[in-house]
Amino acid sequence: MSQAPILSCKEVTVAFDGFKAVQGMNLLLLPGELRFLIGPNGAGKTTMLDVICGKVKPVSGSVSFHRRPGALDITKLQEHKIAESGIGRKFQTPSIFAGLTVMENLEIAMSQNRSVWATLRATLKPSERERIDEELALIGLGDQRHLRAGLLSHGQKQWLEIGMMLLQEPEILLLDEPVAGMTDKETDKTGELLQEIVRKRTVVVVEHDMEFVRNFASKVTVMHEGKLLKEGTMDEIQSDDRVAEVYLGR
- Binding of residue 23 to ligand ADP (CB under 6 A): no
- Work out how close the CB of 38 gets to ligand ADP at its nearest, in angstroms, rounded to a whole number: 9
- Work out how close the CB of 237 gets to ligand ADP at its nearest, in angstroms, rounded to a whole number: 16
Closer to ligand ADP by CB, 66 or 227: give it: 227
- Work out how close the CB of 117 gets to ligand ADP at its nearest, in angstroms, rounded to a whole number: 33
Instruction: Measure the CA angle with vertex 187, ends 165 and 213; round to 5°.
Output: 90
Closer to ligand ADP by CB, 42 or 181: give it: 42
Instruction: Measure the CA angle with vertex 64, ends 58 and 70; round to 5°.
Output: 155
Q: Is 210 buried (19+), middle (13-18) or exposed (0-12) by CB count in 10 A? A: middle
**Are residues 198 and 223 in contact, defined by beta-carbon separation less than 8 angstroms?**
no
| Rg of the chain taking only CA atoms, in angstroms | 18
Concatenated DSSP letters of 12-64 = EEEEETTEEEEEEEEEEE-TT-EEEEE-STTSSHHHHHHHHHTSS--SEEEEE
- Work out how close the CB of 206 gets to ligand ADP at its nearest, in angstroms, rounded to a whole number: 6
Residues 6+ apart with CB under 8 A from 46: 176, 206
Closer to ligand ADP by CB, 6 or 22: give it: 22
- Binding of residue 221 to ligand ADP (CB under 6 A): no
The single-letter code of the amino acid at 69 is P
x/- track of binding to ligand ADP for residues 47-86 (CB under 6 A): x---------------------------------------
- Work out how close the CB of 44 gets to ligand ADP at its nearest, in angstroms, rounded to a whole number: 4
CA 38, CA 105: separation in Å to the nearest integer? 31
Closer to ligand ADP by CB, 12 or 141: give it: 12
Q: Read off φ and ψ for residue 183, nearest 5 degrees.
A: -70, 170
Subset of residues 35 to 54 that bind ligand ADP, contact rule: CB under 6 A: 39, 41-47
- Binding of residue 16 to ligand ADP (CB under 6 A): yes
Closer to ligand ADP by CB, 47 or 111: give it: 47
Count residues near ligand ADP (CB under 6 A). Answer: 10
Closer to ligand ADP by CB, 102 or 205: give it: 205
Angle between helices 102-110 and 126-139 (to 10 degrees): 130
Closer to ligand ADP by CB, 44 or 170: give it: 44
Q: Name the site residues for ligand ADP (rule: CB under 6 A).
A: 16, 21, 39, 41-47
